[in-house]
A = this chain, B = another copy of it.
Amino acid sequence: MAELNILEAIRQAMDEELERDERVMVLGEDVGKKGGVFGATEGLWAKYGDKRVLDTPLSEGLIAGAAAGAALYGLRPVAEMQFADFVYPAFNQIVSEISRMRYRSNGAFGLPMVIRMPYGGGVHGALYHSQSNESYFTSTVGLKVVAPGTPADAKGLLKAAIRDPDPVMFFEHKKTYRLFKAEVPDGDEVLPIGRASIARAGKDLSIFCYGYMRFCALEAAEVLAREDGLEAEVVDLRTLRPLDVATVLGSVERTGKALVVHEANQFGGYGAEVAAVIAQDGFEHLDGPVTRLAGPEVPAVPFHHALEDWFMINPSKIVDAARALAAY
């Protein structure tokens, strides 16, 4: 077992997959000599050459579309969007083409490809380097969407994504990149896409979260245990599409109370789906309203640190919401 942070885990996953399978290639802006603006691809260009670790022009439509073409051809491209905020020029390719190539060809053409995107706020990135735009993709049939919150999950799920026969959107929360180190199993450990994990067991209420929110929810759970004697169960969804409904409902069945937390704005956010599933299929187990805690209804995280702090979900906001729900 090695102690890695999430950034290192991601880099290692790509390195090992490039090594293992010569159909794998990495492409994106500045992923080559510079090693990516966050360093996620550092060292790979020197090791695998400038075709397999390819600097593209500044054109996201191209990155996604060329990756799709390469996947049609039989490669396993791993494309990087420099920031999730810059994926929109590629939206047509992702939604019109990548998500539905298999369906429209009646199964004849699959697209085994990954699009990695650093997302999330709290890094002084303001409106265009902080977005949590996962809901555009979680609502898109034909995609899988993964958002890990630990180094081991990041590595194991990225490997799974690269080997998956279908397109996977891989969300990496920038604030978690170097937030902490944790043990990552040695060797070729591949985690299944589509399974949530119970990050902390509890009986009083369930907190559903992913990415950086896992970290915040665990801190909040500590506070709730210490100060309120409340045992919160923290469920890290890890895969947002498909949602691990069984684990979600199982947790609600145990606790009777559901708090769904994410950083993106609430209206139409991913949490709406989780809440709606619980409201419909977990209705009989509910001892209180399915509660959402999400970013405010503004277009994205504003810059000034005071404004950014106002925006961000943090452990204490989670504690407050959990207390209110527990008291219901």
- Say yes or no: is A136 at the interface (Cβ < 8 Å to chain B): yes
Given known pairs A139-B135, A267-B141, A281-B289, the reply for A88 and B99 (CB within 8 Å) is no
Q: Which residue of B is nearest A137, CB measured? A: B268
Q: Which of A151-159, A231-239, A291-299 contacts B (4 or more CB under 8 A)?
A: A291-299
Point out the residues of chain B lying under 8 angstroms from A267, CB to CB.
Answer: 138-139, 141, 241, 243, 273
How far, in angstroms, from A280 to B291 measured CA to CA in the complex? 6
Main SS of the interface on chain A? helix
Residue of B nearest to A289 (CB): B283
> Which of the candidate stretches A22-30, A89-97, A188-196 sits at the interface with the other chain?
A89-97
Instruction: Write the chain B residue with the least CB distance to A99.
Output: B299
- In angstroms, Cα B100 to Cα A127, docked, is 9
- CB-defined contacts of A243 to chain B, threshold 8 Å: 267
Which of chain B's residues have a CB closer than 8 A to the CB of A289? 279-281, 283-284
Q: How many copies does the complex hold?
A: 2
Residues of B within 8 A of A279 (CB): 275-276, 278-279, 289-290
Determine the distance from Cα of A301 to Cα of B185 in the docked complex, in whole angstroms: 43
List the B side residues contacting A268 at CB < 8 Å: 135, 138-140, 241, 270, 272-273
Chain A's interface size range is 35 or more
How far, in Å, is A312 (CB) from chain B's closest CB? 16
Q: How far is the CA of A91 from the CA of B103 in the complex (A)?
A: 23
CB distance from A61 to the nearest CB of B (A): 8
Per-residue 0/1 for A286-323: is the Cβ within 8 Å of any B Cβ (1 yes, 0 no)?
10111110000111100000000000000000000000
A116 to B298, CA, bound (A): 24
Q: Tell me the A76-95 residues at the B interface (CB within 8 Å).
A: 85, 88-89, 91-92, 95
Q: Is the CB of A136 within 8 A of B138?
A: no
- The complex places the Cα of A271 from the Cα of B273 at a distance, in Å, of 9
What is the CB-to-nearest-CB distance from A99 to chain B, in angstroms, rounded to a whole number?
6
Shortest A20–chain B CB gap in Å is: 31
* Residues of the B chain whose Cβ atoms lie less than 8 Å from the Cβ of A256: none
A267 to B: closest C-beta gap in Å: 6
Q: Which residues of B contact A291 (CB under 8 A)?
A: 280
User: A38 at the A/B interface (Cβ < 8 Å)?
Assistant: no
| Residues of chain A in range 198-244 having any CB-CB distance to chain B below 8 Å | 241, 243
**Is there an interface contact between A103 and B299, defined as CB atoms closer than 8 Å?**
yes
**Chain B hits for A272, CB < 8 A:** 268, 272-273, 275-276
What separation, in Å, do the CA atoms of A297 and B283 have in the docked complex?
22
Measured CA separation A122–B284 after assembly (Å): 36
A32 located at the interface, meaning its Cβ lies under 8 Å from any Cβ of chain B in the complex: no
- On whether the beta carbons of A292 and B276 are closer than 8 Å, the reply is yes
Residues on the B chain within 8 Å of A48, using CB: none
Question: Which residues of B sit under 8 angstroms from A241, Cβ to Cβ?
Answer: 267-268
| Of B92, B275, B290, B298, the contact of A103 (CB 8 Å cutoff) | B298
| A–B complex contacts, Cβ < 8 Å, 20 sampled | A85-B96, A89-B92, A99-B299, A104-B127, A135-B268, A138-B267, A138-B268, A139-B139, A139-B268, A139-B269, A141-B298, A142-B299, A243-B267, A271-B276, A279-B279, A280-B289, A280-B290, A283-B286, A283-B288, A283-B289
